Amino acid sequence: MDFKLPSAWQKGEKRYNTFNRHLRDTFGGKVFKVSLDAGFTCPNRDGTKGWGGCIYCSPRGSGDFAGAVTHSVEQQFSEVKERMQKKWPKALYLAYFQAYTNTYAPVCELRKLYEEALRQEGVVGISLATRPDCLPGEVLDYLEELNKRTYLWVELGLQSIHDRTMEWVKRGHSYAEFLEGVAALHARGIRICVHIILGFPGETYEDMMATARAVAALPVQGVKIHLLHILKGTPLAKLFEKEPFPLLTSEEYVSLVVDILEILPPDMIIHRLTGDGPPNDLIAPLWSRKKWEILNAIDRELVQRNTWQGKKFF
Per-residue pLDDT 10s for the chain (314 aa) are 445 666 655 556 899 999 999 999 999 999 989 989 888 999 988 889 888 888 998 766 454 566 577 788 888 888 877 777 778 888 999 999 998 899 999 999 999 999 999 999 999 999 999 999 999 999 999 999 999 999 999 999 999 999 999 999 999 899 999 999 999 999 999 999 999 999 999 999 999 999 999 999 999 999 999 999 999 989 999 999 999 999 999 999 999 999 999 999 999 999 999 977 788 889 999 999 999 999 999 999 999 999 999 999 97
pTM: 0.93
Rounded Cα distance, 267 and 239, in Å = 39
Collapse the DSSP code of 106 into the 3-class scheme (helix H, G, I; strand E, B; otherwise coil) and give the result.
Answer: coil
Collapse the DSSP code of 222 into the 3-class scheme (helix H, G, I; strand E, B; otherwise coil) and give the result.
Answer: strand
**Which one, of 142, 102, 96, lies nearest residue 123 by Cα?**
96
Rounded Cα distance, 140 and 238, in Å = 37
**Which one, of 167, 155, 91, 97, lies nearest residue 126 by Cα?**
97
Rounded Cα distance, 44 and 49, in Å = 5
Residue 277: predicted pLDDT: 77
Residue 1: predicted pLDDT: 41
Do you know the residue count of the chain? Answer: 314
Residue 66: predicted pLDDT: 61
Residue 163: predicted pLDDT: 95
**Which one, of 28, 9, 31, 52, lies nearest residue 235 by Cα?**
52
Q: How far from each other are the two terminal CA atoms of the chain, in whole angstroms?
A: 11
Rounded Cα distance, 6 and 311, in Å = 9
Strand partners, 128: 97, 154
Strand partners, 224: 195, 272
The one-letter code for the residue type at 44 is N
DSSP secondary structure, 114-129, as one string: HHHHHTSTTEEEEEEE
